[in-house]
Amino acid sequence: MTKTLTTIAVFCGSNTGEGDAYVDGARALGAALAEAGIALVYGGTTKGLMTVVADAVLAGGGTVHGVITESLHARGHSHPGLTRHEIVPTLGIRKARMIELADAFVALPGGIGTVEELMVVWSMNQLGEIDKPAGLLNVADFFSPFLAFLDRMVETKFLPPAHRGSIAVDSDPASLIEKLRAHERTNAPKWL
């Protein structure tokens, strides 16, 4: 069964990273979302890869919903050109709101916040709190060491193999979106 995806939350860096590959990947994802008619929800800022993906969706005629904290908004970090802008009190509420709005999640390269957001939605899926697929856009093999770490979790019996496979991975945005649409909930127990 194919999932209907109307909105995807993208977690990504508030920096652009070194070189052009990460910016190009974020731009390609934004263009693919717009082409597929999928709205973007993201952190609402004008920083790093976050603004690159948002601008690409907008340039493609797509819809972008930004969710930003009051403190970041007060510092002038709000993107002025979004379709919808929402200001919330805290980072926790921001994350909860993005999870609520999205049908699926994609992580681009990023830092601590990106990894934390990804792990939260993956854990929520694993525990059955949500049924919303998550994926990694593996730009320039950025996530390959992370995937090796997940394999280590499986090898050492901290992660069931079925749950390791529950996260979609691709280096091509359109292919990743198709994998998210084809996602089937993992029914294997969390406990080994």
User: Tell me: the pLDDT tens digits for 52-72?
Assistant: 999 999 999 999 999 999 999
User: Tell me: the pLDDT tens digits for 124-137?
Assistant: 999 999 999 999 99
Q: Can you tell me the mean pLDDT for 27-55?
A: 98
Rounded-to-5 percentages of helix, strand, coil across the chain: 45, 20, 35
- Gap between the Cα atoms of 37 and 18, Å rounded: 30
Residue 173 pLDDT > 80:
yes
Global pTM? 0.95
Q: Which domains does the chain have, with CATH numbers?
A: 7-182 (3.40.50.450)
